[in-house]
Amino acid sequence: MLTPKQKNVLEFLQRFIQENGYSPSYQEIANAFGLSSRSTAQKYVERLREAGYLDMDAHSKRGVSIKQSGIHLPLLGRVAAGQPIEYHLHQEFVEVPSSFLRVDAEHFCLQVHGDSMIEEGILNGDYAVIRKQDQADNGSVVVASVDGRATLKKIFRKRSRIELHAANPKYSPLVITPPMQIRIEGVLTGVLRNLNFSH
């Protein structure tokens, strides 16, 4: 288990590398966290490497990278990118790059079924990586359970209702009105292409 400070350092590294395309120096890490020295930052990085979250190139000043070998997430079934379908627990796992994941959250995968999210680059057969949470910002791509059936859509809250929008013009929004029940299961954090799947 990582300490809260170690998690914060790992999240900082993930954000920095995503935004800049290269890793921060030890001095930049120290500055970001108000650490007393570069060697203190180096100890945090070394601990994260030992825990399996980072790769390091000893010959490079900016040689830290987020380990891409992957973390195995449970595949909980299929989710409709079209009409809602049920999803259920499978005893399968999908290897996901650690850069898709937040260290302080629980994640799972669902295999996409349907074509309603193609304009978001989410195709039939892809694996959706989902961060488990019950809240989401307007416009986020979420897995929502509608009357007990799961669907992958963009969520929009209007004054008196919730709408789930496809990313394909041939599908109309799914409007949630009483007595329909909706529960957000999680938010999309990444998509893995299944190269063995025939689209």
Q: Catalytic residue positions? A: 116, 153
| DSSP annotation of 119 | G
Q: Which of 116, 169, 176, 120 is nearest to 144 (CA)?
A: 176
The Cα 132–Cα 74 span in angstroms is 12
Query: Alpha helix locations (H) across 2-90?
Result: 4-20, 26-33, 38-50
| DSSP annotation of 102 | -
- Strand, coil or helix: what is 52? coil
Answer for the pair 144, 87: CB distance below 8 angstroms, yes or no.
Answer: no
Q: What is the 3-state secondary structure (H, E, C) of 159-186?
A: CCCEEEECCCCCCCCEEECCCCCEEEEE
The Cα 89–Cα 50 span in angstroms is 32
